[in-house]
Amino acid sequence: MTRIAALLLVLAATPASAQTSSVDFLSRFDVQLAMEHLAEGDPRFVWDGRFGGELDFIDYGRGRATFTAEYEVLLGEQFRVFDPNQGNYTLAASASVRLRRVEVAGVFHHVSRHLSDRPKRQAIDWNMAGARVRGTFTRGRTTIEPRVDVRGVVQRSFVDYQWELNAATRARVRVAARAAVVAAGGVRVLGVDLSRDRGTQYGARGEGGIRLEGTAAAVELFVAAERRIDPYQLEFTTGSWVTVGFRVVSMP
């Protein structure tokens, strides 16, 4: 898996020297902020907030180099009404090649999970390297954006993960000049090493709602259902819940 990612990174970097005239710096910056209320009986899981974005720091015509960062906070109500108990960080770097209607990238992916207002000395994190294929397809008023990531673990602490398959699709159907119906769905499959006495893990999420667009940003109001792998980082379990939330995203 690491060799595949390295090969894709080399292929993606090649056009930069061959097509100097098409190089563009800081060509895209997308940010988003989301908050969801979880319908779940566990008092540790009441709110889920996320803030992050993507930056294309160089676009070399045939592809681009991208940095991604996201912070997730999980809030419960064990100690107070809004009780943040987890802070999770995701960082990723990728370099891609555009091939006809799809984009293929080599990706380095890092996740670090932390507790808030609770003792934890054990590091919980993992690094993965792999490949991503994604595209954008528009027909009439409908836009579909599929994405598939395949990654292998190159370093880990505490977790039993070995590899991951993450596939998702977003769809948007415009119903007015500044309004659209949106839907998204995805699956996550985690391969493990059996050290925690469990087999391959499966997660999924589906959501639907409406999107209202302004001049510089759009807001999405949605209802979602999710099955999450290891929602509490010290426990090797799955959790399922229904959520209601909103997401603010920057406009292209």
pLDDT at 2: 47
pLDDT recorded at residue 23: 93
Range of the domain at 86: 2-250
Helices (H), strands (E): how many in the chain? 1, 13
Q: Which residues contact 131 (CB under 8 A, 6 or more apart)?
A: 4, 5, 8, 104, 105, 106, 107, 149, 150, 151
What secondary structure letter does DSSP report for 22? Answer: G
Determine the pLDDT at residue 21.
54
What is the domain-level CATH number for residue 243?
Answer: 2.40.160.40
- Please report the sign of the dihedral spanned by the C-alpha atoms of residue 148, residue 188, residue 28, residue 220: positive
Question: How remote is the C-alpha of 214 from its chain's centroid?
Answer: 24
Give every residue of the chain whose pLDDT is below 70, as ranges.
1-21
Give the burial class of 171: count Cβ atoms within 10 A of its Cβ; 0-12 exposed, 13-18 middle, 19 or more buried.
middle
Mean of the per-residue pLDDT values of the chain: 92
Instruction: Give the pLDDT confidence score for residue 15 in this predicted structure.
Output: 44
Number of independent structural domains in the chain: 1
